[in-house]
């Protein structure tokens, strides 16, 4: 079941997202001694990441038990302005005492296929799983996702083979609409998460999110529709201008 929370502006959305991340981190650390989060890239989560590097959020997390992964990455070096890792490091991770060994970067600078295989092994090791690219699948405490204007999420782009991957946990992908090849989680990993949280802002997303949440199921065109957590919770945090076309009667919309 998914819930949609609509926020009056981008700052309110970002603050609520930071609060939710702190809440889920505290729960996971209390339950299991650690918290695993996979970050999304793009521009929307940047403000949330910045908030987590400052009071009150920075003091509310035991960073020694906080483990950071990426749900997708552009195939470029970590110091390139387009790097999802680089963005999170600059506005957040270099400002908090998360141990370097708790930050699991996708190596965008290496051969994409090799990086995808290597990252799947990182997941196998962290989650202590018997084999790669098979069940049981890595189960993140939280996976953050964004929504592209074309309804992609992570780097699962419309009409790409990655949408149909049912075994491999991490694959390379490419889209003619995006300049760089990518590394991305596949749907099985995303749908295994305990919590999946989409952050959606901007008027340009209004028709896309309406199609995804209220339109016919057609994941080939609307890859974000693939996100249906098996047992986990799916939440959408949406800025009001992006929610303008949502029929709030149809959704579990909380103010
Ligand atoms: C990426 C992201 C991607 C992003 C959407 C939305 O690497 O670009 O992971 O999936 O979340 O494209 O991007 P914006 O937040 O910039 O709109």
| Res 248: pLDDT | 84
- The pLDDT value recorded for residue 103 is 98
Q: pLDDT tens-digit profile of 149-187? A: 999 999 999 999 999 999 999 999 999 999 999 999 999
Closest residue to atom 2 of ligand 1, CA basis: 41
Instruction: Choose one of 37, 147, 180, 198 to mutate for the ligand 1 pocket test, by most ligand atoms within 8 angstroms of C-beta.
Output: 147
Nearest atom, ligand 1, residue 182 CA? 7
Where is average pLDDT lowest: 99-103, 141-145, 187-191, 249-253?
A: 249-253
Q: What is the DSSP letter of 209?
A: H
pLDDT surpasses 90 at 193: yes
pLDDT at 167: 98
pLDDT at residue 252 is higher than 80? no
Is residue 251 scored above 90 in pLDDT? no
pTM above 0.85, yes or no: yes
Atom of ligand 1 nearest to the CA of 205: 17
Chain centroid offset of residue 41 CA: 8
For residue 47 and ligand 1, the question of a CB distance below 6 A is answered with: no
115 lines ligand 1 (CB under 6 A): no
Q: How confident is the model at residue 60 (pLDDT cuts 50, 70, 90)?
A: very high
CA distance 45 to 91: 11
11-41 per-position pLDDT tens digit: 999 999 999 999 999 999 999 999 999 999 9
Distance 42 CA to ligand 1 centre (A): 4
Ligand 1 atom nearest residue 71's Cα = 9
């Amino acid at each position: 079941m998914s819930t949609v929370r609509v926020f009056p502006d981008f700052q309110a959305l970002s603050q609520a997202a930071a609060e939710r991340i702190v809440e889920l981190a505290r729960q996971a650390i209390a339950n299991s001694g650690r918290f695993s989060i996979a970050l999304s890239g793009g521009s929307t989560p940047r403000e949330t990441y910045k908030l987590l590097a400052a009071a009150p959020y920075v003091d509310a997390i035991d960073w020694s038990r906080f483990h950071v992964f990426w749900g997708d990455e552009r195939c470029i070096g970590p110091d390139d302005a387009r790097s999802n890792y680089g963005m999170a490091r600059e506005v957040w991770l270099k400002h908090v005492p998360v141990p370097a060994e708790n930050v699991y970067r996708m190596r965008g600078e290496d051969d994409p296929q090799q990086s995808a295989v290597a990252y799947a092994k990182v997941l196998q090791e962290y989650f202590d799983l018997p084999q790669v690219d098979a069940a049981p699948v890595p189960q993140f405490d939280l996976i953050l996702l964004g929504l592209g204007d074309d309804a992609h999420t992570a780097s699962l782009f419309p009409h790409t083979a990655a949408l149909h991957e049912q075994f491999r946990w991490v694959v390379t992908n490419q889209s003619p609409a995006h300049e760089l090849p990518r590394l991305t989680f596949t749907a099985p990993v995303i749908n295994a998460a305990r919590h999946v949280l989409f952050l959606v802002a901007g008027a340009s997303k209004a028709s896309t999110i309406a199609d995804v949440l209220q339109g016919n199921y057609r994941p080939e065109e609307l890859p974000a529709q693939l996100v249906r957590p098996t047992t986990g919770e799916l939440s959408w945090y949406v800025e009001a201008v992006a929610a303008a076309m949502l029929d709030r009667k149809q959704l579990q919309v909380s103010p």
